[in-house]
Amino acid sequence: NAGVTQTPKFQVLKTGQSMTLQCAQDMNHEYMSWYRQDPGMGLRLIHYSVGAGITDQGEVPNGYNVSRSTTEDFPLRLLSAAPSQTSVYFCASRPFKGVLHSPLHFGNGTRLTVT
């Protein structure tokens, strides 16, 4: 049981480059989300999805795009990387439909540095 799998684990980008952070879960969770974690800021929600074909913005969505074509996958795209996007990114999922209280399951994170 792999849970939530994120790739890559580390990435260095130059300002203006684009890339996609991958996230896949094998628990059939409807809800998937992306957070960024910065020192002194805690975890902040970037985008989330409650099912295939449905996405919505979180607290800090600017500079990021997402799509949800399948239940399993929820990639995060940086179209033009900026140094302010240097952070650790976490993907997380949980059951949604018919479940009132369920904690998030997190992936192991992607450490992104933008120079």
Partner 1 sequence: EDKVVQSPLSLVVHEGDTVTLNCSYEVTNFRSLLWYKQEKKAPTFLFMLTSSGIEKKSGRLSSILDKKELSSILNITATQTGDSAIYLCAVALLPAQGGSEKLVFGKGMKLTVNP
Binding site for partner 1 (CB under 8 A): 4, 31, 35, 40-45, 48, 50, 56, 90, 96, 101, 103-109
In whole angstroms, how close is the CB of 88 to partner 1 at the nearest point?
Answer: 9
Strands 42-51 and 64-66: unpaired
Strands 4-7 and 105-106: unpaired
Q: Rank residues 17 and 27 by Cβ distance to partner 1 and give the closer one.
A: 27
The whole-angstrom separation of Cα 23 and Cα 1 is 15
Backbone angles phi, psi at 75, to 5 degrees: -75, 150
Q: Rank residues 4 and 66 by Cβ distance to partner 1 and give the closer one.
A: 4
In whole angstroms, how close is the CB of 18 to partner 1 at the nearest point?
Answer: 26
